[in-house]
Amino acid sequence: MDYKQLSDQLQTILEMKTAPVGIKFLTEGDTLVGYDSTKKYSICQFIMKAREGNKLLADAGNIACANGGSALGFLPVPEKLMNGEFLSQLGAFCKEGAKNTMELIPRFRQNQFSAIAFAPLLKVDFEPDVILLETVPEQIMWVSLAAIYQNGGRHEFSTSISNGTCIDIIATPHSTHKLNTSLGCYGCRNATDIPTDHMLAGFPGDQLEGILEALEHIKEKTMPRSREKKAYTKLKTED
């Protein structure tokens, strides 16, 4: 599959300025050549660096964030995190609220995977398990519509405004096999260059072609009509 072509197609249709990122979950014995495992980043920073063009490997030895690393099963979950103390000290939750939130996090099992590979979608040399987007809400809206274009239905997005990348757009799409969106969290907005007007989304990699096919239909009529704001322009004229 030509992921460079598919990545270019996705960015062109949506008019995205940010690069999609592909990730692959590795188990013992899996190998990838040319992926840097020497850099120590938080999970959200791995995504940011991949978006900038880097091919990276994250594992138990180089994940800098105990919250994200434990959520994805690479590190033990710190007691300070599970009992609510950490998030309450940040001022994000009261302690009991933080504790309840941590208990509901849909974590990966410990050692479920040996590593995660991150790369710009246009450079991947693997079949992505999940594809990650960080862009403006309008563009994520079209991707979300494309995901239900064929069968219809309603999305049920899952987030706790904590673990906004590691759980919301990596673990959840993988576990549910459905697109999920995230408003971000304290961690990713503190640790990366994500603009205040961007949000995030992740969807299973094997849905990319279907989403692109749907977007090709949506861009013919629905997308341009929405973007031209004809109804709003008429309202302003009448006022």
Give the tens place of pLDDT for each residue, 17-71: 999 999 999 999 999 999 999 999 999 999 999 999 999 999 999 999 999 999 9
* Predicted local confidence at residue 147, as pLDDT: 98
Terminal Cα-to-Cα distance of the chain (whole angstroms): 52
SS3 for 170?
A: helix
> 3-class secondary structure for 42-84?
CHHHHHHHHHCCCCEEECCCCECCHHHHHHCCCCCCCHHHHCC
Distance between CA 112 and CA 192 in Å, rounded? 26
Amino acid (one-letter) located at 115: A
Cα 218 to chain centroid, rounded: 22
Query: Does the pLDDT at position 149 exceed 90?
Result: yes
SS3 for 27?
A: coil
pLDDT band, residue 238 (cuts 50/70/90): confident
Return the ∠ at Cα 141 (arms to 100 and 144), rounded to 5°: 75
